[in-house]
Every structure is written in structure tokens, then in C-alpha cells.
Structure 1
């Protein structure tokens, strides 16, 4: 019983203790809820306060913005008033109205734009000119390269070979009557000297000299030499030369592709087959110039046929320079005009040596082709005296420098080789001598093409093995 009583007491105590603990936990939870409710209330109060303050701040901001808008409007009105007053004051000081000032400003901008445009145009023009010069050099080089041909220089004398030396006596005739008759009929001087089996014909007119040569060869072949026979052979030779001239003119036209030309111009053109200028055959020069001009005209998309015609006829006046006084350019222009050539052709002929200023593309190309053909190396020759004098001057210029040992003008004056003393001239000084000689040659001499100056400094070391 006691045990049961104790057990019941223990259970009761445990139940009471548990109830107390539960009650205590409930009270703590209730207190915690009350605290949370209090904190929530406090937070709501703070939020209400912040919302009230935010509303007040929003109202203040709206009022500030309205005030700023009013100030902005006031400032805009004040700025407009100040601008108006300033403009009026500036107009009063400068004496210009707004329209006038605006016009001045526009004028200044236009002038600046014009200056910019002129500068840009000059830059473009400079670039175009450089490109054009490069292109022109290429065109000329290509034309000269394609057309360059071997050139032989004709002399002012012709040589006729005789079958035997006794023929000289028959040519001279009794008391010189045959030779006098020959010279009177042909206008060619006969030079008969001790040279075996040779007779020299001398005449400044190449056509007349060719007629004389044919006449003399015909007389020698016939064997009968007397004044009457000389006149007969001379007439035949004249006809033969005229036929040769006509054929040469026709061949020239066919070579450059021209089909229509007055027969007299064709004949005169063929006479240039026997004419030389500075050792260059004139007809060959005309054909060469025509080809060069045609190539340049094709590159420039000009009228190739017209340019070739102008260039082929530009020296036609040289066929009559022995008979008519005056410039061959003006003589040729008169001939072309007389025989029905167009004004473009006539102008190109008279302008190719600047007797008149060239005004057309054909005239400019004729000038250029003439210069290319006549100025290329080997085309023309100088007199022996001028040639020898130039070579001597080249050597004397180089020899005048200190340290020079020997000087040789080589390759027909195209190169000067200067041998210097290695002990007196070093490598740097050798370069200086080459530059000084070249500069002095450029300043003092006139020559076609260019001259190479080569300074040679040679050092030798010699030892003997014993």
C-alpha cells in the first residue's frame, strides 16, 4: 500500500510539474506575442511618421520645382532681353545690322570654303600632274623602245667607183670641157684626185647630189661622155629620181596607214629620203616620229590617224629649204595649206618649233614625237670639231681636281673615268670628286642624254717571296 501511495504521489507530482511547465511556456509565449505586437505597433508608428515626412518632402519638392520653373522662365526672359540689348549695342558700336553681320559671316565662310577648295584643287592637281608625268614617261619610253631603229648618218658627199683609172681622163675631157659641162648641168662638184678608181661628188642639196650620182654612173656605164650625152643622162636621172621620190613617198604613206594625200605632197615627202638633218635621215625621222606620236595618241584616246598625219608632214618644208628662204615649219605649213590639208594639220606643222604657240593636242603630240625621235641617243650626230672639243673639255674639267692622275673620256663622251692617286685621295674624297665633276659638267657643257662620271681609286700591295 505504501508503495502504491508513493507511486501515486510521484505521478501526481510529475503531473503537477508538467502542468506548471506548460503553463509557464504558455505565459512566455503570450509575453513574446505581446512584445511582438508592441514592436509591430512601434514600427507602424515609425512608418506613419516617415510617410508623413515623405509627403511633406514631396510637397516641398513640387513647390521647389514650380519655383525653379518660374526662375527658369524669368532667366529665359532676362537672357532674351540681354541678348536683344547686346545685339542692339553691338549694332550701334559696329554700325552693322543683324542682316549685314549675317551677310558678312556668310561671306567669310564662303571665302574660307573657297580657300579650302583651292588648296584641295591644287593638291589634286599636283597629284594628277605627278601621275601624268609618270604615265607620260612610261608612254614615251615604250614608244621609243618599240620604234628605235639603227640609224646611219649620210655625209654631204657621194662616192662613185670607176672601172679603171683611165676613166678619170674621159670624165675630165679635153681641156676639162666634160667636167665643166657636168658641173654646169647637174650643179654638183666633181672631186677627182689621186685616189684610185674613185670620184667624189660634193653638193649641199642631197637630191641634186643623187641626180648627179645617177648621171655619172649612167655615163660610165654607157662609155660615151660628152656635153650632149651628159644632158641626156641628166634628164633621165631627173626622171628616175622623181620616180624614186614618188615611190618613197607612197611607201611612207603606206607604212603609217595614210591613203589620201595630194600627189605634190607625196613627191615632196619622198624627196626627204635624200635629206639629212644632223646626220639623221629626214624621211626616216618623220616615219619614226609618226609611229611614236600614234602610240602616244592611242594611249591618250586621241585621233591616231590625224596625229600620224600631222607628224608625218611636220618637216615637209625641209624639201624646199634649199629653194625657199624661211623657217621650214612655216614653209611646210604653207605647203600643207596650199595642197588642201586641214587647219589642224597646218597648225601642228607651223607650231612644232614654236613659231606659233601650240593650241591643239595634235600640235603638242607632234612636238613631243619630234623631240623623242631627234633627241634619242644615236639619232643625230655633232660635227667632228664640236665633238672633239667637248671630249677635251670633259677631260680638262676632271683633270683640274687635286689628286687626279689620269682621265679618259669614253663611249663617245657618255662616260668619264677618273683615275685618282690612292695616297692623296680617300674613298670619301673620291665620291666628292665625282659629284663635283658631274656638277661642273652640268653647268658648263651642253650634251644630249647623260654622262656618267666614274672615279676609280685603286690600291695595290706588293711583296716579294725570297
Structure 2
């Protein structure tokens, strides 16, 4: 506004100066120009007033807007300040509330501690009172003991006097007796002792014989009672394991697929499983033969899967057999776990559980090894309870009964007996020393050092000696078949060996890169000669060495 006013004044001053500059002209022009100058001056004055009024109005409007903005800004800041104050106030209240809660909790904890200290102090005070009372009682007891001691001293003194008097009388009586009997005191004593000793020995010997006879009769009765009660309380089934499995077919048309072109499928199955397949005229039936139950089971399950799938060729056969073997191994673990759970045996290592499952596919003289071991475990538990052993010993007896034949299912062959080898395995897996001794001693190969070992030995005999439980011929046959395979496997380059046709044929699979055709002929002759020299067998045994070369490539 000041600039506008300055401009207006400048205009007026300029007009005045222009008027004075041109004032020297003619007077006749002065009048005309004076009127015009006055008019211009009046116009300029009006314009200046208008400009000043507009400027004042605009300034007032601008000032009003500025004042409104200042008022709004002030209100906004006041609102924000109030909001911040309210928030800070709320936070302060919350912090104070939390501090108050924490303070109350600390106060309650302090009260509880004070109460506990008061109770503890009261307990200490009660104990102190009891100690003081006990001290007073002890003091009274000491006084009584002292008084009693004095009385005893007097009594001892009187007794000593009487003893001296008796000794003097005894000496007089002894001298009188020696004079009358004509024997000295030592001679009379010696003769009396000899007579008493002779009579005592005769009576003791007679009494000893009577007691020993009675003890033997009672022990025999008790032992018969324990064994009979144990057998009566255990009634497990008796089963004889065979060496063949029968596989049923829906129709005979499948037999052709199983045999394959020129017999390649059946040869592939036998080579992969180690079991012999007998396909004869029996309708809708294939016989699987092998002394090893695991091989028979792998062959049966693989054949079942191949028949249901319909794709039967050598490559598929190997794939199915490998898969079945892995599944059977998992099934063996599950059987072991189920057996351990049913027997309520805890803490058994995983390796021993797997070996317990393997018992399902082993036999002992025709008796299923798992059923025999479970039966022995139950018998051991019952017999231990009948004998009055504690719960811990009963559990150890059951555990030892289950594991006593664990050496028969070991993965590796050993020159040791199954009892000693099983003992080594159990000891290696940190089994209880009592169980270890029971395993090793159940065939009297080591000395028994606990009560559980004879129980396991007796129960093993009870389970295996019942009529029909075992068959000696089958065990001898299985041992002979296994010995055949072992003779072949120990030769270099042999991959696997399978005894077929009840031990009349031995098929030896060799590695093609290690054994040549000429060496294969020599190997078959060598194995046959070793069998002939080391084994006894009826008839003849055919040794067949199979060398197969495979070339494999992949198109990618």
C-alpha cells in the first residue's frame, strides 16, 4: 500500500513540475492549460484516492485472511497439543498402572516370603524346643545311667567276691575228686570230651542224613510242582515249519507268463530270490521250495505282485524282488516291535528288535523260532514267579527267554555256537549281564552265575521237548543245505549261491568281470570236489556255475 501511495504522490509531483516547466508560455495558453492541469490534478487525486482505498481494502482483506489462518493454525496446534497431552496422560496412567500391578505382585510375593519365613521360623523354634526337650531327657537318662552304673559296680564287686569263694570251693572239690578217682583234671576232661565228641558225631551224622533226605524229597516235590504249574499255565501251539510254500493262481494261463519264453522268467525269479519254483500239472498251483523261509516269503510276495501287475519280464522281476525284499525287512522290524510290546519288554535295542523279527522266518528243528522264543519267555516269567522271585527278576527272566536263541538269526556266520555268539551280540549291545549269562549258558557252554540262567535252560528244554514240537530230520537237512551254500560262497568271484531241489542242485552266480568262462568250469569242478570230500549226502549234487554278462546303456 505504501508503494501505491508513493506512486500517486509521484504522479502529482510530476504534474506540478510539468506545469512549472511549461509556465513560460503564453498566458493565453496558461488559462487553458491551467484548466486542463487542474482537471488532470483532480483526476490524479481521484485515482490516487481510489488506489489508496483499493489498497486499504485489499490490505484489510489480506489481514483478515491472515488472521483467520493464524486462528485456524492456532486451533490446530491447540488440538494437537491436547491430543498429545491426552496420549501422554494415558501412557503415563498405563505405566503407572503396570508399576502399581508390579508393585502389588512384589508386595504379595514379599508377604508370601514373610509368611514362609514365619512358618520356617516357627518350625525351627519347634525343632529347637524338641532338641531342648531331648537334651533334658538325655541329661536325665545320663543321671539314671550313672546311678545304674554305680549299682552295677557294687553288684560286680559282690559277684567277684562270690566267684573267688566258688573258685576256692572248686579247687577243694577238684582235689577231692582227683584223690577219689585217681585221675588228674586234664585227663578227666580229655576222656569226657572224647566220649562227648564220639556220641555227637554219630548223632550229627544220623541227623544230617535224615535232613538231607528230607530236603531232597521236598526239593524234588517243589521242583516238580513248579515245572508242572508252569507247563499247565502255558499252552502254546506247536507248529512244524515246512520247506515249501504253495502259491495259488486264479487260472492256469498265468503259468505260461511265469515260465516265460524258453523259461527266462522263471530262471530270473529263481536267480533273484534263491528259491525254486515248481510248476507242474497241479491245477492253479505253483510250489515255492527253499530251506530259507525268508527266501520263500520274498519269492511268494514277489510272485503275487507280478501276477497281479501282469508285467512279467526279467527287468521287472529284479525290480519287484528288490522292492519286496526291502518291504519284508521293514515287516521284520514291525514283527519284532509287536512281539516286544506284547511281552511288555522295554528298552530293547533296535538291532535286537530287528533280530527278534527275523526269528519269524527261522526254525529250530522244525519249530518256528519266534514262537519257541516267545513261549520260552512266557515259561521263564511263570517259573520265576512260581519260585518267588521279585518283579525285576521276573522281567529279566522273560527278557532272557526271548533272546536266548538270538545267535541263530545273526546276519553274519560265526564259528562259535549260537549260544556263545548270541551272548557276544547281547554283550556288544549293552544288555543286562544276567541276560547275557543266561543266553551263553543255556547249553552249559559257560558257567551259570545267577538264578535266571537255569530257569532259561529249563524252559528252553520244556518248549522244545514236548511231543511234536520239533523234528530232528528237518534241522539236519537245513544245516546240510546251508553248508552247501557256504562252500560255494567262500570262493573268489562268487556273488551268490542257492541250493535247489532239496539240495540236489547248487546254483552259483559269479561276477562276469572277475570269473571267465574257463574259470567257471574250473570253479564248478572245484566246488563239487570240495563237497564230495567234506560232506555226507545221499545221491548226487549238481553244481551249476552261472556267468551272465549284461550291457546297459541309457538314451537321454
Same fold (TM over 0.5): yes
| 1:230 maps onto 2:320 in alignment | no
For residue 125 of structure 1, report the CA deviation from its aligned partner: 2.9
Report deviation, 1:180: 2.0
Match of 1:192 among 272, 279, 290: 279
Distance in 2, Cα, partners of 1:311 & 1:81: 73
SS across alignment from 1:159:
strand
The corresponding residue for 2:395 is 305
SS at match of 2:237: coil
TM-score, length of structure 1 as denominator length: 0.59
1:154 aligns to what?
Answer: 241
Contact in 2 for aligned 1:332/1:350 (Cα 8 Å): yes
Verify the 8 A CA contact 1:156 1:206 in the aligned structure 2: yes
Larger Rg: 2
Distance, in Å, in 2 between the alignment partners of 1:223 and 1:349 is: 48
Q: Secondary structure at the match of 2:329?
A: helix
| 1:334 counterpart = 2:424 | yes
**1:321·1:328 contact (CA, 8 Å) conserved in 2?**
no
Q: Distance in 2 between matches of 1:166 and 1:264?
A: 44
After the TM superposition, which residues 358-377 of structure 1 pair with which residues of structure 2 at under 5 Å, given as runs?
358-377=448-467
Q: TM-score, normalised by structure 2?
A: 0.50
Alpha-carbon deviations, 1:225-249, whole Å to 9, x = none?
Answer: 1222112111221122222211221
1:259 aligns with 2:349: no
CA drift at 1:383: 4.5
For these two proteins, the number of residue pairs brought into alignment is 300
C-alpha change, 1:248 and 1:111, in structure 2 (3 Å) is farther
Aligned twin of 1:208: 295
Structure 1 residues 247 and 142 mapped into 2: Cα distance closer, same or farther (>3 Å)?
Answer: same
Give the deviation of 1:114 after TM superposition: 4.5
Q: In the alignment, which of 407, 431, 438 is matched to residue 317 of structure 1? A: 407
Q: Counterpart in 1 of 2:437?
A: 347
User: Which of 95, 103, 125 is matched with 2:212 structurally?
Assistant: 125
Structure with the largest fraction of helix: 2
Matched, 1:174 2:261: yes
Q: Does 1:296 align with 2:383?
A: yes
CA distance in 2, matches of 1:108, 1:304: 52
**Separation in 1, partners of 2:422, 2:379:** 20
CA RMSD of superposed structures (Å): 2.8
Counterpart of 1:137 in structure 2 is: 224
1:246 aligns with 2:339: no
Whole-angstrom CA distance in 1 between matches of 2:380 and 2:402? 9
Residues 267-306 of structure 1: pairs in structure 2 closer than 5 A: 267-302=354-389, 303-306=393-396
- Deviation string, structure 1 residues 200-241 (Cα, Å, up to 9, x no partner): 111122122211211111111111112221121112211222
Q: Deviations over 1:382-432 (max 9, x none)?
A: 559x9xxxxxxxxxxxxxxxxxxxxxxxxxxxxxxxxxxxxxxxxxxxxxx
Question: 1:101: Cα distance to partner?
Answer: 6.3
Once the two structures are TM-superposed, the CA of residue 344 in structure 1 deviates from its matched residue by 1.0
Which whole-Å CA distance do the structure 2 matches of 1:162 and 1:327 have between them?
A: 42
Distance 1:310 1:119, change over 3 A: farther
SS at match of 1:148: coil
Distance 1:104 1:197 in 2: 99
Q: CA, structure 1 residues 362+107, in 2 after alignment: closer, same or farther (shift >3 Å)?
A: farther
Q: Distance in 1 between matches of 2:421 and 2:376?
A: 19
Q: Would the aligned equivalents of 1:275 and 1:281 in 2 still touch at CA under 8 Å?
A: yes
Structure 1 distance, partners of 2:264, 2:320, is 16
Distance of 2:332 and 2:178 partners within structure 1:
98
